[in-house]
Amino acid sequence: MSAVSTSATSSAATSASGEPLVSLRGLSKTFDLSPPLLNRMIERKGKSFLRAVDGLDIDIPRGKTFSLVGESGCGKSTVAKLVVGLHAASGGKIRFDGTDLTGLHASARGTYRQRIQMIFQDPYASLNPRWRVRDIIAEPLRSFSITSGRAEEQREVGRLLEMVGLSAQDGDKFPHQFSGGQRQRISIARAISSKPDFLVCDEPTSALDVSVQSQVLNLMRDLQAELGLTYLFISHDLAVVDFMSDYVGVMYLGRLVEAGPAQRIFEAPEHPYTRLLMDTVPDITMARRDRVAVTGEVPNPITPPPGCSFNPRCPLASDICRAQSPDLVAREGGTRVACHAVTGADGSSGRPGAAGRAPMELARGVA
């Protein structure tokens, strides 16, 4: 099934699902990058901070995939680590199934770890090279007391390996005996062994060959349909995002600049930065010739420009863009866009979304 047909049903599915499984409100993370106090006194410098995530608001319905996309350093992987608890949030709330996780003590939050798991980017580094595969997959089973007895544990490990396209006998091997794609299948088996509701997938296919990527992505979609999983999918590959997603959020320097149903985002991107990302995807049909002319480099995230952080590179920037940071504004088609020029806050009549060039064609090739 194509990404277009999957995304087309997202609005109906959202209304039917009720409260989202995961809800982020005003989520922020600031890192203190200051040198030691003595160095600052000698050099007469103040503290320096990096605002990696700045006021993120997203909802992820049950059984759906919400993808965060953006250039390296935009904060999307930090969001993933905040959601699973690898980083503590500086502000905002993370609600999971109605419970605010940010207000819980670490011991109380442990109750939810079984239901929230993560698939990491590098399958070579995320598996213990000294452990046999059966022990890697069995560790969550033991930690959460899912199985009782050695025999039941081994049966469950074999079943999980077969679910991800490996054999039960592969449990006797070590990680170095597998290819990259097979190692990522093992990582997926480990992640689903705790019977989670929610998986955070941090660029799970970026380290794999394209041919292997398609197999892993199809496996993840099959598991989602079979187990009713909800995904937060992190990627910089637009074709992969389009293939996997029901909803998409575009991040730039820690802020969400556009979000909404995947089909709408890919067919009619509105924010100039989203259009810039779309223009990086090759299009042999030349269906869209109105490319956005964007120049310059990403600003220093420690000292971002005033106003809209994209204004130094934006061809639509005006005085208000350089003075005031735009809020996300609801738009036609269920999207939200943070752009003064698009919403008309700059005094213009606003600008409709551009006709998308459709990275969907690349995504269908993935299938």
DSSP states of 251-278: EETTEEEEEEEHHHHHHS--SHHHHHHH
pLDDT at 2 over 50: no
Give the pLDDT confidence of 39-78 residue by residue, as tens digits.
Answer: 888 888 888 899 999 999 999 999 999 999 998 889 999 9
When pLDDT is cut at 50, 70 and 90, the band that residue 284 belongs to is low
When pLDDT is cut at 50, 70 and 90, the band that residue 285 belongs to is low
The pLDDT of residue 359 is 44
Q: Specify the range with the lowest mean pLDDT, choosing from 6-10, 66-70, 234-238.
A: 6-10
pLDDT at 1 over 80: no
- End-to-end CA, the chain: 8
- Report which DSSP code applies to 86: S
The pLDDT of residue 153 is 96
Mean pLDDT confidence for 283-289 = 56
The pLDDT of residue 358 is 45
pLDDT at 366 over 50: no
Helix crossing, 210-227 with 180-192: angle to 10°?
20
Structure tokens at 213: 């990527």
Measure the CA–CA gap between 228 and 293, rounded to whole angstroms: 42
For the stretch 316-329, what's the b/e string if a residue is b when 16 or more beta carbons lie within 10 angstroms of its beta carbon?
Answer: bbbebbeeebbebb
When pLDDT is cut at 50, 70 and 90, the band that residue 193 belongs to is very high
Q: Which residue has the higher pLDDT, 170 or 123?
A: 170
**CB-CB neighbours of 11 under 10 Å:** 15
Q: Specify the range with the lowest mean pLDDT, choosing from 175-179, 240-244, 350-354.
A: 350-354
3-state secondary structure of 56: strand
User: What's the number of CA atoms in the CB half-sphere (13 Å) around residue 197?
Assistant: 11
Q: Which residue has the higher pLDDT, 292 or 322?
A: 322
The pLDDT of residue 109 is 80
Structure tokens at 91: 């502000």
pLDDT at 364 over 50: no
User: What's the number of CA atoms in the CB half-sphere (13 Å) around residue 171?
Assistant: 22
Quote the percentage of the chain above a pLDDT of 90.
66
Give the pLDDT confidence of 79-108 residue by residue, as tens digits.
Answer: 999 999 999 999 999 999 999 998 788 777
pLDDT at 308 over 80: yes
